[in-house]
Structure 1
Amino acid sequence: MALPPLKSVVECADFSKTVVPYISQLYTLPEQLLQSYNKPEELLAIYLATNPLVSAFAFSLFISPFFLLISEINKNYSQVDRCWSLLPTLYNAHYVVYAHLAGLPTQRLDNLIAVSTVWSLRLTFNYWRKGGYSIGSEDYRWEVLRKKISPALFFVFNVVFISLAQNILLFLVSTPTYVMLLVSRFNGTMGTADIIFARILMGLILVEFLADQQQWNYQKAKKAYQKSAKVPPGFNQEDLDRGFVVTGLWSWSRHPNFAAEQAIWVIIYQWGCWASEVLYNWTILGAMSYIFLFQASTWFTELITSSKYPDYKEYQQLVGKFLPIPGSSLPAEPTDQKAKPKPKQKTKEGRR
């Protein structure tokens, strides 16, 4: 087993002891796999002899060229988005499998992979239900960006960010699970705090589901209204003419699903910190990168939306981007023009 020799739980979060000694394996792993690709027993031995963090990172690097190649062939640059709901859970499952093979107690890890699987199922369902839009970047954003910059520059952007950086990001958000894998050598059972973390995560997934369902119901009603000019039950003409949902959770946050999504990976990071008995550790890089991505992605989406629909700017002033503005929210049933903005045009904002 390629797990570091540690003397305490705190050392499980020490980058110099749990990561640095195994970086060299990243360079020798490809040759080992090529020599044993048709020998299952040797592949298993290589898997166990390779640090699980290194093998996970190597996989993220391995799949990036395939995403790049496919995206350039079919000119659809959302290949990583299509796997967005699967890759973090795949990495988490990898750590859990490794722990089982190592004979470590896995109660905490088993609960984490259960939560991660529910997250993946919800995200995958929402992705395919909405015709391929994912929680990450959306097709139309890449198309808008592609039209604004030169083909050469966009190709570089595809290589560096879309196909590579996003893959590495999805690996990074799962790194707290590696820390919890190491902690399981000292204590892998569930305590009260672990139960609280798991329930908070399930609650955030529920918030995401409710927000996406409200968005889906609205978009479905808007499409029917535009086709038949008849207002579906449960909606009013003003809401549908506006073009974007501002009721329910969307009256408190312009992106309640995104807020919950970011919080999920922050909580998983905090779970890893608690398990390793430290206030912070190096795996914060994953959670912070995830937040930075959503900040940039949401800014770009709203820039597109507000440039097309001026009244969206009023919605931005009334409702917080992710967190509610203290003392402010849109009423469920507006009584005047200012309470609930009524754009003259329609938007695709929120189809994620």
Structure 2
Amino acid sequence: MTGTNWAALGVNLAACAAVAGAMLLATFAVAVRRGLHRIVDIAWGLAFAAVALATWLLSAGHGDDWRRLLVAAATAVWGLRLAAHIAWRSRGHGEDPRYAALLDKAPGNRTLYALRTVYVAQAALVWLISLPVQAASYSSQPLGPLAWCGIAVWALGLAFEAVGDHQLARFKEEPANRGRIMDRGLWAWTRHPNYFGDSLVWWGLYLLACTAWQPALAVLIAPVLMTLLLTVGSGKRLLEKHMADRPGYAEYAARTSGFLPLPPKTSVGGTR
């Protein structure tokens, strides 16, 4: 016995596919009306929060109530914070260069190309990455040491992500820092504290779903996929490509870890 209600979970998987799809289609409609596809980045966190809420409601009576509440709350807090941060950061800005470059490659209708390659793809990713959230909610197993380890990992990841975002925002607010590379605080230990924290969040949520080997194996793809997206997908790789030509970035990259937080390297003379 795994303690997981697989039949009810199957219904939840279908329902959450519809929720994720509806969220991204609604975002697509707003983006087309405004002519601004960067708002899909705000919808990313909101879609995860919506899936978590739907799962919490649908899993009532099927899983341990404390586990259901913890996983739903943890996902919603992460998703809403991320959405609010991106909305604040992008206020007053035009189209994101990533989406502009993507749409410039459209072989036909740009709008349909955006729908297919951005919105449908992100809806599928939300559903797939949220598998631990859904699976954990349908386990009748009471919370144990592994679950509390998951919450600790989630909390560390959320703190890393939020602090990193806050430090970068404060740095950019200073006129004297215009054109300079942020290399202070957490950014002295890793070039991407927000992405590292994001990855930890989803490994923490994954641990909440590890109530037996079957669900643990079934949803392992979620944190692995999120980590790959952040490191070799649309996260770290694209951002560093964009930053590569900035003065001082090559030196910063040479002394600072690319993902995992590590003490900054020093030169022969002992200076950073």
Distance in 2 (CA, whole Å) between partners of 1:183 and 1:305 is 44
Q: Secondary structure at the match of 2:233?
A: helix
Cα offsets for 1:110-131 (capped at 9, x unmatched): 1222222322343233223323
Q: Which amino acid aligns with 2:185?
A: G
Q: CA deviation at 1:109?
A: 1.4
Q: In the alignment, is residue 178 of structure 1 matched against residue 178 of structure 2?
A: no
Distance in 1 (CA, whole Å) between partners of 2:76 and 2:197 is 16
Give the structure 2 partner of residue 194 of structure 1: 147
Distance in 2 (CA, whole Å) between partners of 1:65 and 1:78 is 14
Q: Secondary structure at the match of 2:143?
A: coil
Q: In the alignment, is residue 118 of structure 1 matched against residue 77 of structure 2?
A: yes
Give the structure 1 partner of residue 2 of structure 2: 9
Give the structure 2 partner of residue 306 of structure 1: 244
Q: Secondary structure at the match of 1:253?
A: coil
Give the structure 1 partner of residue 225 of structure 2: 289
Deviation beyond 6 Å, 4+ runs, structure 1: none
Determine which structure has more spread, i.e. the larger CA radius of gyration: 1
Give the structure 1 partner of residue 162 of structure 2: 209
| TM-aligned CA distance change 1:59 to 1:118, over 3 Å | closer
Distance in 1 (CA, whole Å) between partners of 2:123 and 2:103 is 20
- In the TM superposition, 1:194-343 aligns within 5 A as 194-221=147-174, 224-225=175-176, 240=177, 243-272=180-209, 274-278=210-214, 280-294=216-230, 295-297=232-234, 298-307=236-245, 309-324=246-261, 328-329=263-264, 339=271
Give the structure 2 partner of residue 59 of structure 1: 19
Distance in 2 (CA, whole Å) between partners of 1:103 and 1:122 is 28
Alignment check: 8 A CA contact 2:71 2:208 kept: no
Q: CA deviation at 1:195?
A: 2.0
Q: CA deviation at 1:199?
A: 2.3
Distance in 2 (CA, whole Å) between partners of 1:81 and 1:145 is 15
Q: Where does structure 1 lack aligned partners over 5 or more consecutive residues?
A: 1-7, 23-50, 226-239, 341-352
| TM-aligned CA distance change 1:241 to 1:84, over 3 Å | closer
Q: CA deviation at 1:163?
A: 0.7
Cα offsets for 1:8-37 (capped at 9, x unmatched): 107x498xx787xx5xxxxxxxxxxxxxxx
Distance in 2 (CA, whole Å) between partners of 1:106 and 1:301 is 40
Distance in 2 (CA, whole Å) between partners of 1:121 and 1:158 is 24
Alignment check: 8 A CA contact 1:141 1:301 kept: no
Q: Where does structure 2 lack aligned partners over 5 or more consecutive residues?
A: none
Distance in 2 (CA, whole Å) between partners of 1:287 and 1:13 is 22
Q: CA deviation at 1:151?
A: 6.4
Q: Which amino acid aligns with 2:240?
A: E
Structure 1 or 2: more helix by fraction: 2
Give the structure 1 partner of residue 125 of structure 2: 169
Q: Which amino acid aligns with 1:292?
A: L
Alignment check: 8 A CA contact 2:13 2:134 kept: yes
Q: Which amino acid aligns with 1:282?
A: A
Q: Secondary structure at the match of 2:183?
A: coil
Q: Secondary structure at the match of 1:296?
A: coil
Q: Secondary structure at the match of 2:59?
A: helix
Q: CA deviation at 1:213?
A: 1.3
Q: Secondary structure at the match of 1:329?
A: coil
Q: CA deviation at 1:255?
A: 0.5
Q: Which amino acid aligns with 2:89?
A: K
- In the TM superposition, 1:5-84 aligns within 5 A as 8-9=1-2, 12=4, 51-84=11-44
Give the structure 1 partner of residue 46 of structure 2: 86
Give the structure 1 partner of residue 67 of structure 2: 108
Distance in 2 (CA, whole Å) between partners of 1:71 and 1:335 is 51
TM-score, scaled to structure 2: 0.84
TM-score, scaled to structure 1: 0.66
Distance in 1 (CA, whole Å) between partners of 2:134 and 2:15 is 11
Alignment check: 8 A CA contact 2:68 2:136 kept: yes
Q: Secondary structure at the match of 1:322?
A: coil
Q: For the aligned residues, what is the CA RMSD?
A: 3.1
Q: CA deviation at 1:61?
A: 2.8
| TM-aligned CA distance change 1:259 to 1:269, over 3 Å | same
- In the TM superposition, 1:126-137 aligns within 5 A as 126-132=85-91
Identity %: 18
Q: CA deviation at 1:169?
A: 0.9
Q: Secondary structure at the match of 1:83?
A: helix
